[in-house]
């Protein structure tokens, strides 16, 4: 059941009608970069991997996908992965129903899926953007090897190549709303990169919503709730 008192209602959300897609393969550090740069913005993060990892730990299943034990546990792991995707989809649908600002965390391997999601959000009045976290293959493989939930070198390599091949298409789809982050040498205690990413995100969050569909939705919600003051950005 939707509970916007818990979620923060769309009309009160300073990031209303803003959606950011996140792209980067295993070991790119995308989730780390985004959490360090958007943690104070109020954007809702949608990430099935976080849910999946929690399910794995709760079930006592292997986190390292490169081990023989993980292969033996493939069937229960796949079921948990599917359940995590369902739960995350419901969470995202709740956020979108309230027109909340959100970050959709994914690898960026499937261009068509992201383009479809982006277009669907645009039809609702959203401004859509992408944060593309880029690294060399060597850096991605080295970081993947250090992760708790690592994947095989072959899978990490294929994912990296797939994401790289989509950069041109993402650039065309998102045009001026694409932020490319070079995450080859970032250190956890080095705020230079994080400040630069945040510097690029903030103007997008402050940008006024111009979609007629979004404005119509806001007027309808204001009337339904008896609110006379329009939300910030309108």
| pLDDT at res. 192 | 75
Q: Is residue 68 part of a domain?
A: no
The average confidence (pLDDT) of the chain is 88
Structural domain including 134 reads: 4-46+100-225
| pLDDT at res. 2 | 47
Token reading at 58: 């709760």
| pLDDT at res. 55 | 94
Q: Is residue 159 part of a domain?
A: yes
- Say which residues have a Cβ less than 8 Å from residue 23's Cβ, sequence separation at least 6: 30, 106, 107, 108, 114, 130, 131, 132, 133, 163, 166, 170
pLDDT digits (tens, 9 = 90+) for 70-117: 888 999 999 999 999 999 999 999 999 999 999 999 899 999 999 999
The confidence band for 191, taking pLDDT boundaries of 50, 70 and 90, is low
Q: Is residue 112 part of a domain?
A: yes
Q: Is residue 64 part of a domain?
A: no
Tally of structural domains, the chain: 1
Q: Is residue 61 part of a domain?
A: no
**Helix or strand holding residue 123 (H, E):** helix 111-123
Backbone dihedral angles phi then psi of residue 103, each to the nearest 5 degrees = -115, 125
| pLDDT at res. 231 | 81
CATH code of the domain containing 23: 3.40.50.300
Q: Is residue 30 part of a domain?
A: yes
Q: Is residue 91 part of a domain?
A: no
CA atoms within 13 A on the CB side of 164: 14
pLDDT digits (tens, 9 = 90+) for 7-43: 446 688 889 999 999 999 888 888 888 777 777 788 9
């Amino acid at each position: 059941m939707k509970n916007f008192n818990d979620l923060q209602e769309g009309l009160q959300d300073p990031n209303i009608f803003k959606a950011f897609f996140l792209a980067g393969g295993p070991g790119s550090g995308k989730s780390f970069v985004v959490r360090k740069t958007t943690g104070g913005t109020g954007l809702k993060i949608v990430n099935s991997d976080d849910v999946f990892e929690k399910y794995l730990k709760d079930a006592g299943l292997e986190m390292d996908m490169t081990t023989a034990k993980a292969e033996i546990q493939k069937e229960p792991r796949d079921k948990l992965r599917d359940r995590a995707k369902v739960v995350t989809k419901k969470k995202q649908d709740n956020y979108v129903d309230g027109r909340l600002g959100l970050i959709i965390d994914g690898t960026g391997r499937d261009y068509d899926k992201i383009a479809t999601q982006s277009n669907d959000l645009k039809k609702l009045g959203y401004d859509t953007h992408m944060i593309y976290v880029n690294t060399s293959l060597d850096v991605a493989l080295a970081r993947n090897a250090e992760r708790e939930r690592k994947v095989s070198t072959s899978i990490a390599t294929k994912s990296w190549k797939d994401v790289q091949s989509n950069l041109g298409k993402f650039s065309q789809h998102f045009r001026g709303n694409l932020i490319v982050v070079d995450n080859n040498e970032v250190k956890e205690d080095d705020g230079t990169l994080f400040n630069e990413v945040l510097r690029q995100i903030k103007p997008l969050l402050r940008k006024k919503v111009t979609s007629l569909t979004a404005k119509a939705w806001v007027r309808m919600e204001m009337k339904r709730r008896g609110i006379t003051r329009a939300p910030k950005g309108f």
